[in-house]
Amino acid sequence: MGDDSHSRTAAPAAAERARSVLAAAWSCSVTAEGTREELVGAHTVGEDGRVFVEVPEDSALLAAAICAPRGEPSAVLEFADVAPVPVRNRIRSRLWLAGWFAVEGERLVCTPTRVVLRRPSGSVVVDLDEFAAAVPDPLTTAEARLLTHLADCHADAVERLTRLVDSDSLHGAVRVQPLAVDRHGLTLRIERARTHGDVRLAFHAPADDVAQLTERMHILLGQATAASCPRALQRQRTDGDG
């Protein structure tokens, strides 16, 4: 497990990545005043990074916010960033927001006082001002559709892209799948018999929309076609493993 090295490593900053996780996540876990609830499709995010949570009238979270002796109970929100393509270890990162809950109309609003993003490379505390000012990656809402289409309909293109990967990173590989894409590049998950690693293929310039992403992918594929073929990649068909 871990990240395989690659010469081109441009990637989103931590604040941008955190805002992207927030924008893409469909569910979250909320803990406040000793109460924990799992919510689905219940949160939205303000431009300043505050999180608004719709909860049922009988929610213990709502009761905790209303009855808190200090007026605003502390809260922790947890979000998981799940790869849309079935790969080994699908959790790409986790995001925690610690802050204060307040009642606003019929919903709760969490104002973060600490933001922590945990990725395979380690955890980072995100600067609050940077988090408030950041915006999600422009490809965030399209990522799941783009990656599943690439994996399901263009396996030949994925295999061709492995020509851009160092042969050492492909040693013992049994399957390669697209793991993530953002405006800066594409990440491939290289699975071996018992381990896996990720390799980043950076674009020559950021892609601000799907049309630009298509152009960046064509350039990568052109570079891959021109590259010498690496050692033949072993292939192994397996049922979906999450």
User: Do residues 61 and 37 touch, judged by C-beta distance below 8 A?
Assistant: yes
Tokens of 144: 């799941």
pLDDT confidence tier of residue 68, bands split at 50, 70 and 90 = confident
Give the mean model confidence (pLDDT) for residues 207-229. Answer: 91
Q: Which residue has the tokens 């995100």?
A: 126
pLDDT of residue 11: 78
* CA gap 49, 130 in Å, rounded: 10
- C-alpha dihedral, 152 to 155 to 20 to 195, nearest 10°: 110
Confidence band of 228 (pLDDT split at 50, 70, 90): low
pLDDT class of 69 with cuts at 50, 70, 90: low
Whether residue 235 is predicted with pLDDT greater than 50 in this model: the reply is no
Number of C-beta neighbours around residue 157 at 10 A:
16
Does residue 1 carry a pLDDT above 70?
no
The amino acid that residue 41 corresponds to is: G
Is the per-residue pLDDT at 15 higher than 90?
yes
Q: Which of 55-59, 119-123, 172-176, 216-220 has the highest mean pLDDT?
A: 216-220
Instruction: Tell me 228's DSSP state.
Output: P
User: What whole-number distance in Å separates Cα of residue 217 and Cα of residue 185?
Assistant: 9
Task: Dump pLDDT digits (tens) for 76-121.
Answer: 999 999 999 999 899 999 999 999 988 888 889 999 999 999 998 8
Residue 241 has pLDDT above 50, yes or no: no
Residue 240: pLDDT band (50, 70, 90) is: very low
Residue 81 is encoded by which pair of tokens?
A: 């960033």
Please state, in angstroms and rounded to a whole number, the distance separating the CA atoms of residues 202 and 183. Answer: 9
49 token code pair: 């990074």
Predicted model pTM: 0.84
**pLDDT(28) > 90:** yes
Token match 């381990």: residue? 195
Amino acid at 94: R
CB atoms within 10 A of CB 163: 18
Contacts of 173 (CB under 8 A, 6+ apart): 162, 190, 191, 192, 233, 234
In the chain, the amino acid numbered 91 is: I
What does the pLDDT read at residue 169?
Answer: 86
Average pLDDT over residues 194-218: 95
Which residues sit opposite 109 in a β-bridge?
A: 52, 102
**What digits encode the pLDDT tens for the residues 192-202?**
988 899 999 99
CA distance 194 to 192: 6
231: pLDDT confidence band, cut at 50, 70 and 90?
very low
Q: Could you say which DSSP state residue 212 is in?
A: H
Q: How large is the average pLDDT for residues 50-74?
A: 82
| CB-based contact 207:179 (threshold 8 Å) | no
